[in-house]
């Protein structure tokens, strides 16, 4: 009997084909070879190359004047689970003007802007940050905490839109939050290449955090849990990295133990100025030491950042801000330089 006719033939052939687990998935050369480009980020301050946004559109027309609730001084739909911080309906033209201007500033800084679609019943789609977590090598798709009573309402469902967008770009999806996990990307922060933080809150639970931890463990990243105060939703209302060793913080929303950990990591804390609203913190770092802020919210904080060597680019974002998120909330960097 020849070898080819024997039961050992299959094993003899495969013994000459050597599996190669290294380099790991997220290695830059491996990404280029398999995925045609380098995806993700190793920190929250490297120069942004590709960013995700959603231009405000007709989905905001579900916000009508009869939704105003004077007891909370905002428009709200408790069945569809959205709110708008105003006593008048959104000025869509103004929102689009602000959004287009922000996109223009990003483009002028060498950033490719990618737009994501949304459900016609989802006025929260503007805040794309919550759709995912970007780490070295790809994307973790979030699972929205808010699901409306009626089909197609609430933020639950945005997960499908970002998945399709990432797939069309060729971006690897490393994990999708599943089971009973809920988590939104605004509550994730890369402190440096080896440390990340998540905010535990009404929008992020332990089930999701354990899933995120298992993915980060593959890259040797330590995940720090930060319990947020009251009904705070996301950690980006308490901390945003603005340089490799500097963070803009709202110390009222962060526990002492975590503030001490920042010191241990050599991260300088720059507190927002008390004369600005807390939303001054919601800025976007586009490259080390350069941030884009909502100028109206950040008059005094911008001066404080500048005194610490941070370059500040101010843009108007006031009408968009009424939808409950700032510039950080409205953008999701998909590719950053190391």
Q: What is the DSSP string of 278-303?
A: GGGG--EEEETTEEEEEGGG-HHHHH
Q: What is the pLDDT of residue 239?
A: 97
Least-confidence region, from 4-13, 211-220, 226-235, 271-280: 4-13
Cβ-based neighbour number of residue 198 at 10 Å: 23
Identify the burial level of 282 via C-beta atoms within 10 angstroms of its C-beta, where 0-12 means exposed, 13-18 middle and 19 or more buried: buried
Q: What is the pLDDT of residue 150?
A: 79
Q: How confident is the model at residue 154 (pLDDT cuts 50, 70, 90)?
A: confident
Q: What share of the chain has pLDDT > 70, as a percent?
A: 100
Give the three-state DSSP class for 307: helix
Q: What is the pLDDT of residue 5?
A: 84
Identify the burial level of 221 via C-beta atoms within 10 angstroms of its C-beta, where 0-12 means exposed, 13-18 middle and 19 or more buried: buried
Topology, domain 53-336: 3.75.10
Average pLDDT in the 238-257 region?
A: 96
Whether the ω angle into residue 23 lies within 30 degrees of 0, i.e. cis, is yes
Q: Look up residue 128 and give its two tokens.
A: 């794309």
Q: What is the pLDDT of residue 2?
A: 87
Of the candidates 232, 235, 335, 223, the residue with the CA atom closest to the CA atom of residue 282: 235
Q: What whole-number distance in Å separates Cα of residue 307 and Cα of residue 243?
A: 14
147 bridge partner residues: 154
pLDDT for residue 153 is more than 80: no
pLDDT digits (tens, 9 = 90+) for 254-282: 999 999 999 999 999 999 999 999 999 99
Q: What is the pLDDT of residue 219?
A: 97
pLDDT for residue 152 is more than 80: no
Q: What whole-number distance in Å separates Cα of residue 261 and Cα of residue 335?
A: 27
Alpha helices in 109-187 (DSSP H): 158-169
Q: How confident is the model at residue 213 (pLDDT cuts 50, 70, 90)?
A: very high
pLDDT digits (tens, 9 = 90+) for 43-60: 999 999 999 999 999 999
Q: How confident is the model at residue 184 (pLDDT cuts 50, 70, 90)?
A: very high
Least-confidence region, from 2-16, 28-42, 157-171, 216-230: 2-16
Q: What whole-number distance in Å separates Cα of residue 172 and Cα of residue 188?
A: 19
The model's pTM:
0.95
E-only strand ranges, the chain: 48-53, 68-69, 74-77, 82-84, 112-115, 132-135, 138-141, 173-176, 188-192, 195-200, 222-227, 239-243, 246-249, 268-271, 284-287, 290-294, 311-315, 332-336
pLDDT for residue 151 is more than 90: no
pLDDT for residue 149 is more than 90: no
Q: What is the pLDDT of residue 84?
A: 94
Q: Look up residue 178 and give its two tokens.
A: 């599943």
pLDDT for residue 35 is more than 90: yes
Q: What is the CA radius of gyration of the chain?
A: 22
Q: What whole-number distance in Å separates Cα of residue 12 and Cα of residue 28?
A: 33
The alpha carbon of residue 155 and the mean position of all alpha carbons in its chain are separated, in whole angstroms, by 15
Q: What whole-number distance in Å separates Cα of residue 67 and Cα of residue 49?
A: 39
Q: How confident is the model at residue 146 (pLDDT cuts 50, 70, 90)?
A: confident
pLDDT digits (tens, 9 = 90+) for 75-131: 999 999 999 999 999 999 999 999 999 999 999 999 999 999 999 999 999 999 999
Give the alpha-carbon dihedral of 115, 55, 107, 160, to 10 degrees. Answer: -20
Give the three-state DSSP class for 201: strand
Half-sphere exposure of 266 (CA within 13 A, CB side): 4
Q: What is the pLDDT of residue 276?
A: 96
Give the three-state DSSP class for 52: strand
Strand 138-141 to 173-176 pairing: parallel
Q: Tokens 């405000």 identify what position?
A: 56
The alpha carbon of residue 12 and the mean position of all alpha carbons in its chain are separated, in whole angstroms, by 49
Q: Look up residue 36 and give its two tokens.
A: 């045609």
pLDDT for residue 234 is more than 90: yes
Q: What is the pLDDT of residue 71?
A: 96
Q: What is the pLDDT of residue 91?
A: 97
pLDDT for residue 3 is more than 90: no
């Amino acid at each position: 009997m020849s070898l080819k006719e024997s039961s050992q033939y299959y094993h003899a052939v495969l013994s000459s084909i050597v599996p190669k687990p290294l380099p790991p998935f997220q290695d830059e050369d491996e990404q280029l070879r398999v995925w045609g480009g380098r995806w993700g980020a190793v920190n929250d301050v490297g120069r942004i190359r590709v960013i995700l946004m959603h231009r405000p559109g007709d989905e905001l027309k579900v916000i009508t004047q009869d939704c105003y609730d004077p007891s909370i001084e905002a428009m709200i739909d408790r069945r569809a689970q959205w709110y708008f911080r105003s006593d008048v309906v959104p000025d869509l033209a103004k929102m689009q003007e602000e959004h287009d201007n922000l996109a223009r500033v990003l483009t002028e800084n060498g950033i490719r802007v990618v737009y994501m679609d949304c459900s016609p019943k989802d006025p929260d789609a503007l805040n794309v940050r919550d759709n995912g977590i970007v780490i070295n090598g790809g994307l973790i798709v979030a699972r929205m905490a808010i699901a409306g009573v009626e089909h197609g309402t609430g933020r639950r469902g945005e997960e499908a839109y970002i998945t399709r967008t990432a797939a069309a770009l060729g971006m690897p999806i490393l994990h999708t939050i599943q089971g009973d996990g809920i988590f939104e990307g605004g509550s994730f922060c890369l402190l440096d290449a080896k440390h990340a933080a998540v905010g535990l809150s009404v929008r992020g639970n332990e089930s999701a955090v354990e899933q995120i931890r298992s993915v980060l463990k593959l890259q040797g990243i330590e995940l720090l849990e930060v319990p947020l105060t009251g009904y705070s939703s996301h950690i980006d209302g308490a901390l945003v990295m603005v340089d490799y060793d500097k963070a803009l913080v709202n110390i009222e929303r962060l526990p002492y133990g975590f503030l001490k950990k920042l010191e241990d990591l050599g991260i300088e804390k720059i507190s927002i100025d008390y004369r600005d609203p807390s939303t001054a913190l919601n800025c976007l770092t586009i490259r080390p030491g350069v941030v884009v802020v909502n100028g109206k919210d950040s008059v005094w904080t911008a001066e404080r950042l500048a005194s610490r060597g941070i370059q500040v680019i101010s843009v108007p974002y006031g009408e968009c801000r009424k939808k409950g998120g700032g510039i950080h909330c409205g953008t999701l960097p998909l590719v950053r330089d190391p």
